[in-house]
């Protein structure tokens, strides 16, 4: 069954492995008949400094962030590509979440359950395509999957997007052309399956 997919390339540079993975996912999804809307972090025009606006600002979202949130509301599946930098996501991607996931459009602080605000983006699933130099074993054994917990529980899960599945591509620094081609093929298959 075709899905409505919002794809966010969360790499701040125009060209990257993350962009190539986003291209592969998009090609696979569209070839399989899924409806896909794409946003690229590098092309979005917004102020990523939450302090400039805060929660009290009246309608603070720039047109690019409004369009992103409208597409997220339209979708039933979110796909996000991101590199792992210093154990977390790029600052601009974190700034996007800080600015776009505001009370009233992603969670409702007036209605709480067990002390937590009511999530407003329920009914959606997510897939995070993460590139890193940190191998998967180190992500588990050394870092306790900290970035995955932050993304799945404290960001996406907090606003109701779950479950979040992860695909980890590493180590990028040592990846051969054949390895990257294999990653691209895997992501294309995920796109075809709407996964």
Domain with residue 31: its CATH number is 3.40.50.360
Number of domains within the chain:
1
Between residues 125 and 53, the one the model is more confident about: 125
Taking residues 11-15, report their average pLDDT. 97
The Cα 195–Cα 190 span in angstroms is 5
Structural domain boundaries, residue 94: 4-193
Higher-confidence residue: 103 or 32?
Answer: 32
Assign 67 a pLDDT band (cuts: 50, 70, 90): very high
- What whole-number distance in Å separates Cα of residue 163 and Cα of residue 123? 10
How does residue 57 score in pLDDT terms, banded at 50, 70 and 90? low
How many other C-beta atoms can be found within 10 angstroms of the C-beta atom of residue 101? 18
CB neighbours of 185 closer than 8 A, spacing ≥ 6? Answer: 24
pLDDT of residue 69: 97
């Amino acid at each position: 069954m075709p899905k409505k997919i919002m794809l966010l390339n969360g790499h701040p540079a125009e060209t990257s492995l993350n962009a190539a993975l986003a291209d592969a996912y998009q090609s696979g999804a569209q070839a399989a008949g899924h409806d896909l809307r794409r946003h690229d972090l590098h092309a979005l025009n917004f102020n990523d400094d939450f302090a400039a606006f805060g929660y009290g600002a009246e309608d603070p979202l720039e047109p690019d962030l409004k369009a992103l949130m409208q597409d997220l509301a339209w979708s039933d599946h979110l796909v996000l590509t991101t590199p792992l930098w210093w154990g977390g996501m790029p600052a601009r991607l974190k700034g996007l979440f800080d600015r776009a996931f505001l009370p009233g459009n992603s969670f409702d602080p007036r209605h709480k359950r067990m002390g937590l605000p009511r999530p407003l983006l329920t009914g959606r699933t997510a897939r995070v395509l993460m590139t890193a130099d940190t191998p998967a074993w180190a992500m588990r054994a050394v870092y306790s999957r900290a970035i995955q917990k932050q993304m799945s529980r404290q960001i996406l899960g907090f606003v109701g997007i779950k479950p979040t599945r992860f695909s980890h591509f590493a180590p990028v620094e040592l990846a051969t052309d054949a390895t990257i081609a294999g990653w691209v093929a895997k992501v294309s298959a995920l796109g075809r399956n709407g996964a």
